[in-house]
Amino acid sequence: MNSVSPSAAQYLGGGLQDEGLASHPDGYRAPARDPRGHFGYGSGSDGGREAAEEPDEVDRLKAKLMSAWNNMKYGWSVKSKTSFNKTTPLTLLGHSYLLNHEDEVERFSRTFVSRLWLTYRREFQQLEGSTWTTDCGWGCMLRSGQMLLAQGLLLHLLPPGWAWLDGQQLTDVEFEILKPRSPSRSSGVSLPAFPSSRPTPRGRGGTAEVSKRAPVWRCSSETSQDRQAEAMHRRVVCWFGDHPSAPFGVHQLVELGKSSGKKAGDWYGPSIVAHILRKAVDKTSELPNLTVYVAQDCTVYKEDVMRRCDCSQSEGSSQSGSGWKSVIVLVPVRLGGESLNPSYIDCVKNILRLDCCIGIIGGKPKHSLFFIGFQDDQLLYLDPHYCQSVVDVTQNNFPLESFHCHSPRKMSFSRMDPSCTIGFYAKSQKDFESLCIMVSTALSSSKEKYPIFTFVEGRGQDYGLEGQSGVMPEQDAHIQPRGKAGGGKRCSVDEFVFL
């Protein structure tokens, strides 16, 4: 468990990345600079450690220092509370909330807290072929990818509108009337606290503030359906546990990344992670009715999706009858050159308004985040950079608190790194057909002449990344609007540096 209460201080520590570090150009893996962070905590490729060995006391000390450093830096980003505007809608994964009434605040709170929050962990079993016992400092994009997949699994396996019964209300947030064009600052005008049968503490200047010790939402009349949903919720969390047998845990994801030239301690980009997630779902036997499709060259080939979803045509399928697998569609894109093209902001907003959207993995430069919504000109996100102790998910009734976040955070669209992967989920063939129509409509809202990506009939070429360890495997996924090829430095979809 955490050394601090998850409900009160989940964001007291963390890992804001050094903004001054330059991104790597395409194909450059920075061999000259030791990728071991500020304290020299090394990756599995450290010069004298090609073979796996037991971590010594110095390694353990360095790991603790790295964790403490990340958590201290993470705390710097959350000294002030997150302010939400009472007068404009807030969008969270396809649902809209107007936070001018307590019922709406509680509905938003339940939805946000119920998302799975997967962060850095320390003191887990050593990763094979390395001395790593933590992903602190390098695994944030893997964690963001886990959260994206987890959201798809919650939609796939749990009833519509499911919410965690033991979830607590939000902490460290304020609901205010905010100035137009400046959603991060208060206008100095505040609304009274929402009427409630329980007392609500007051923030600075009389601003309504959510209690830090709010009761959980569990109802006294828990049904058998609720218990079944909670059992499935716990099972999904187990699949992301930090041990080698977890199908979507960091051990398995790192192992699957080796065929793409990645290893423990390397930096992962949003496109690489999309392919790793596809391989993980293909490999596991836990989800026979789900498949993952990764778009090729910013194009979703409908026939390829159909072939993956048609049980009678799936590779290795022994089924002779007809049937349809649910599908998670992942689309690696680049929304600009070295920074986000503002013309794409409305398009991203419209995508996040769709209930088939399961989020976006990307971040700000050198800092991976999982985007799940927006309000005004700010993105709502979950941040994986808080380093927590490993939880043994093989034990009965293991604690769930550290897998859920109670402190929402926002950042300006202008700070968003252009490299990202967008996720969608379709439960049935009819849902996929609707998805194609709705997403195409959202894409047409871009002010650019050409959309971020497209849906086309037919099939594409094989998009496997095996055997490309010598070059950056993200090059084919690079986005540059047709007709706007620039003469400057070409950016890679994986152009992230995580320290």
Task: Write the DSSP symbol of residue 452.
Answer: S
18 is catalytic: no
What is the rounded average pLDDT of the residues 119-141? Answer: 94
pLDDT score of 303 more than 80: yes
Percent of the chain surpassing pLDDT 90: 57
pTM of the predicted model as reported, rounded to 2 decimal places: 0.76
CB-CB contact of 463 with 294 (8 Å) = yes
Given a cut of 90, whether residue 268 has pLDDT beyond it is yes
Catalytic choice (136, 140, 347, 356) = 140
What pLDDT does 328 receive? 98
In 409-469, where does DSSP find H-type helix?
A: 429-443
DSSP one-letter code for 402: G
pLDDT at 445: 81
| Percent with pLDDT over 70 in the chain | 66
Position with higher pLDDT, 363 vs 493 = 363
When comparing pLDDT for 261 and 81, which is higher? 261
Confidence of residue 30 (pLDDT cuts 50, 70, 90): very low
**Bridge partners of residue 324, in order along the sequence:** 310
In terms of residues, how long is the chain? Answer: 499
Q: What is the mean pLDDT of residues 161-169?
A: 88
The active-site residue out of 135, 266, 383, 494 is: 383
Among 177-181, 184-188, 241-245, 253-257, the range scoring the smallest mean pLDDT is 184-188
pLDDT of residue 11: 41
Q: What is the pLDDT of residues 71-120, one digit of tens each?
A: 555 554 444 689 999 999 999 999 999 999 999 999 999 999 999 999 99
**Residue corresponding to tokens 């705390």:** 75
Contact 264, 256 (CB under 8 A): no
Q: Name the band, by pLDDT with cuts 50, 70 and 90, for residue 381.
A: very high
> Which uninterrupted H or E stretch holds 71?
helix 57-76
* Rounded Cα distance, 259 and 93, in Å: 32
Predicted pLDDT at 71: 53
Is residue 332 a contact partner of residue 474, using CB atoms and an 8 Å limit? yes
- Looking at residue 135, the DSSP 8-state letter turns out to be -
Residue 177: predicted pLDDT? 79
pLDDT in tens, 54-73: 556 666 566 666 655 555 55
Any bridge partners for residue 420, and if so which?
333
Q: Does residue 165 surpass a pLDDT of 90?
A: no
Q: What is the pLDDT of residues 350-378, one digit of tens each?
A: 999 999 999 999 998 889 999 999 999 99
Enclosing H/E stretch for 131 = none
**32/55: higher pLDDT:** 55
pLDDT value of residue 61: 63
CB 375 within 8 Å of CB 89: yes
Of residues 104, 15, 6, 26, the one with CA closest to residue 65: 15
User: In the chain, what's the furthest Cα-to-Cα distance?
Assistant: 67
Q: What is the pLDDT of residue 59?
A: 61
* Catalytic hit among 233, 251, 275, 385: 385
Q: Model confidence over 437-483: pLDDT tens digits? A: 999 999 998 777 788 999 999 898 755 554 333 333 443 333 333 33
DSSP-derived secondary structure letter, 477: G
- Per the listing, tokens 């037919």 go with 458
pLDDT above 60: residue 497: no
SS3 of residue 438 by DSSP: helix
Q: Which residues contact 427 (CB under 8 A, 6 or more apart)?
A: 155, 156, 326
CA distance linking residue 48 with residue 33, whole number of Å: 15
What span, in angstroms and rounded, lies between the C-alpha atoms of 359 and 381? 9
Active-site residue flag, 56: no
- Lowest-confidence range among 55-59, 309-313, 332-336? 55-59
Please give the average per-residue pLDDT across 200-227, as a whole number. 54
383 belongs to the catalytic site: yes
pLDDT the model gives residue 323: 87
Per residue in 172-197, pLDDT (tens digit) is 888 887 665 544 443 333 333 333 33
